[in-house]
């Protein structure tokens, strides 16, 4: 498919080899934690244990992981598909689990469910459920949290909301210390980008005066650009990615255009021994199972 060309967009050859071994281990560990946590959510959803609307990001773990190391301690605003950013920025997994189960002990007391999660103690702000709403909210937060960095995630569909574009334009006017991350799977539900617009988000962002780059979802590459941009905000990274599950729920239609998780493992095999990679996966699976043991 045409979309496959994005699997190596902007790649820097052998970038992973330039990273310390421990750093790469941490990247993979975080990807695994998000992935296996969501695998547990998927199973719980299939068994109808969770609330009905569950927005999974299996296949897209590298996006929030790649941003998280350089931006740790920042305010985080994600949208309805927020499990990845929540876990990548150390949101409480038990509160997330309980929210997905609709329990009082959930981060929204069981009222918000998957699309509205937050952990205010960890500076992870809740989402109201309307796509892109968090982008202007992030700008406003920046107005009163002077000098604090903010990460704001949104999708390629949300990028088309008029208020998102208007907010991006205001970010430069206001010199907002925000890193915008567009989690771009080239689909709005199932409608491809080419059927929705003729423009590229990075072109628009650059014309507004933001630093911007369009790359694939390689976690080292994301970390590289995050590090590059974090002191030159506002900036936007459009990250091409693909998801293994439906827009909402736990179903699956087609095979992935590319499997970032497997590609990451392959790249890791140049850095780590096979056993080490296996061990990280094993530990993460155990952690996720423990969280979901009810």
Partner 1 sequence: MENVAEIIRSLTKKHLDKGSIIIGQCLTAVGWVQNTIPDQKKGIVELSMTDTAGAGIAVGAAIGGGRPILVLRFQSLLWLNSSPIVMHAAKCKEIFGYSCPIYVRAIASESDSGQGPIHANTYHSIFAHMPGIVVVCPMTPREFKTVWKKYLNSDDPFLVSEHRSSYRINYEINDIINQNNATTIIAISSARLETLKAIEILKKKKFDVNLINLVWIKPFTLSKSQIDCVKRSKKILIVDNSYEFCGVANTVAQMISRKFKCKTEVLGLREYSPGVAKRFENGTPTANQIIKKLKSF
User: Under the criterion CB under 8 A, does residue 102 sit at the interface with partner 1?
Assistant: no
Tell me which residues in 122-141 interact with partner 1 (CB under 8 A).
125-126, 128-130, 133, 135-141
For residue 140, the tally of other CB atoms under 10 A from its CB is: 13
Of the two residues 107 and 222, which places its CB atom closer to partner 1 in the complex?
Answer: 107
Number of residues lying near partner 1 (CB under 8 A): 32
44 SS3 class: helix
Of the two residues 58 and 150, which places its CB atom closer to partner 1 in the complex?
Answer: 150
Tell me which residues in 233-262 interact with partner 1 (CB under 8 A).
none
Rg (CA), the chain: 18
Using CA atoms, how far residue 60 sits from 65, 83, 216, 231, 243, in Å, is 9, 11, 11, 25, 6
Long-range contacts of 166-169 (CB under 8 A, 24+ apart): 166/136, 167/135, 167/136, 167/138, 167/139, 168/135, 168/204, 168/205, 168/208, 168/210, 168/234, 168/236, 169/208
Which region, judged by CB under 8 A, interacts with partner 1, from 2-10, 116-124, 217-225, 235-243?
116-124
Smallest gap from residue 193 Cβ to partner 1 (A): 22
Smallest gap from residue 92 Cβ to partner 1 (A): 13
Residues 239 and 252: their CA atoms lie apart, in Å, by: 22
Tell me which residues in 143-172 interact with partner 1 (CB under 8 A).
143-145, 162-164, 166-167, 169-170
Residue 190 per-residue DSSP state: T
Smallest gap from residue 219 Cβ to partner 1 (A): 29
Of the two residues 31 and 179, which places its CB atom closer to partner 1 in the complex?
Answer: 179
Burial grade of 176 (CB within 10 A; 0-12, 13-18, 19 or more): buried
Residues 114 and 118: their CA atoms lie apart, in Å, by: 10
Smallest gap from residue 120 Cβ to partner 1 (A): 5
The tokens for 113 are 């469910």
User: Under the criterion CB under 8 A, does residue 219 sit at the interface with partner 1?
Assistant: no
Of the two residues 167 and 212, which places its CB atom closer to partner 1 in the complex?
Answer: 167
Smallest gap from residue 185 Cβ to partner 1 (A): 24
Residue 236 and residue 212 in contact, taking contact as beta carbons nearer than 8 Å:
yes
Which region, judged by CB under 8 A, interacts with partner 1, from 22-30, 83-91, 104-112, 183-191?
104-112
Of the two residues 73 and 109, which places its CB atom closer to partner 1 in the complex?
Answer: 109
Nearest-10 crossing angle of helices 201-208, 162-173 = 40
Residue 171 and residue 232 in contact, taking contact as beta carbons nearer than 8 Å:
no
Smallest gap from residue 206 Cβ to partner 1 (A): 18
Give the binding site for partner 1 (CB under 8 A): 108-109, 111-112, 116, 118, 120, 125-126, 128-130, 133, 135-145, 162-164, 166-167, 169-170, 173
């Amino acid at each position: 498919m045409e979309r496959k060309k994005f699997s190596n967009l902007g790649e820097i050859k052998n970038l992973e080899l330039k990273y310390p071994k421990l750093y790469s281990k941490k990247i993979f560990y975080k990807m695994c934690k998000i992935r296996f946590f969501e695998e547990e959510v998927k199973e719980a959803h299939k068994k109808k244990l969770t609330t009905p609307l569950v927005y999974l990001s299996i296949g897209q773990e590298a996006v929030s992981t790649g941003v998280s190391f350089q931006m740790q301690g920042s305010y985080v605003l994600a949208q309805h598909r927020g499990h990845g950013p929540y876990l990548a920025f150390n949101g409480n997994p038990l509160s997330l689990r309980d929210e997905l189960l609709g329990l009082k002990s959930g981060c929204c007391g069981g009222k918000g469910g998957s699309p509205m999660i937050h952990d205010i103690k960890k500076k992870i702000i809740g989402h109201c459920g309307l796509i892109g709403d968090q982008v202007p909210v992030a700008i406003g937060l920046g107005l009163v949290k002077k000098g604090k960095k903010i990460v704001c995630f949104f999708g390629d569909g949300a990028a088309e909301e008029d208020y998102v574009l208007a907010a991006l334009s205001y970010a430069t006017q206001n010199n907002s210390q925000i890193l915008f991350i567009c989690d771009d799977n080239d689909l709005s539900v199932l409608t491809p980008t080419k059927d929705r617009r003729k423009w590229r988000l990075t072109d628009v962002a650059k014309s507004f005066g933001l630093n911007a780059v369009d790359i694939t979802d390689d976690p080292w590459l994301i970390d590289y650009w995050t590090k590059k941009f974090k002191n030159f905000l506002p900036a936007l990274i459009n990250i091409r990615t693909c998801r293994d599950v439906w827009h909402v729920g736990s179903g699956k239609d087609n095979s992935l255009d590319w499997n970032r998780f497997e590609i990451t493992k392959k790249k890791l095999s140049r850095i780590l021994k096979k056993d080490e990679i296996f061990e990280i996966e094993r530990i993460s699976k155990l952690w996720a199972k423990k969280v979901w043991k009810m």
